[in-house]
Structure 1
Amino acid sequence: MAQSQGWVKRYIKAFCKGFFVAVPVAVTFLDRVACVARVEGASMQPSLNPGGSQSSDVVLLNHWKVRNFEVHRSDIVSLVPF
């Protein structure tokens, strides 16, 4: 019984350590480097959601390009309201 409680405590301790490291790293990555967004509707056709489909496309938004002013013609820019 005491041995199983020791295993549970070690598991919870390891989970908490991983959680408190992974969450700040993930939040920083999503805020500073890139994030995933879903594009729905016909507003971006034919580049995204081709063929009039009502399904949604998933895109990766690159924050580095915008922050370094490396936006070029034919790039898709997404604006997010604050």
Structure 2
Amino acid sequence: MAQSQGWVRRYAKAFFKGFFVAVPVAVTFLDRVACVARVEGASMQPSLNPGGSQSSDVVLLNHWKMRNFEVQRGDIVSLV
């Protein structure tokens, strides 16, 4: 019984150590580099969501290009 508790304790310690490293890295990546968003509704038709309100598209929002002012004519810009 003592050995199984030691294994669980080591597993939990390794899990939380990895969790507390991975969460800040993931949040920083999503905030500074890129994130995924859903486009719903008719606001971007016909370029995005051509099927109407029943379907939705998934897009990658590239924060890096906006931060470095690399936006060009024809790019879609999303404002929050």
Give TM-score scaled by structure 1 length.
0.93
Partner SS state of residue 11, structure 2: helix
Query: 1:54 and 2:61 equivalent?
Result: no
Percent of paired sites with the same residue: 93
Ranges in structure 1 where 5+ consecutive residues have no aligned partner: none
Give the C-alpha shift of residue 20 in structure 1: 0.3
Deviations 1:8-29 (A, max 9, x none): 0001001001100000000000
Q: What do you get for the CA RMSD once the two structures are aligned?
A: 0.9
Moved over 4 A (4+): none
Give the C-alpha shift of residue 55 in structure 1: 1.2
Give the C-alpha shift of residue 53 in structure 1: 4.8
Give the C-alpha shift of residue 54 in structure 1: 2.1
Whole-Å Cα distance in 2 between the matches of residues 17 and 42 of structure 1?
A: 44
Ranges in structure 2 where 5+ consecutive residues have no aligned partner: none
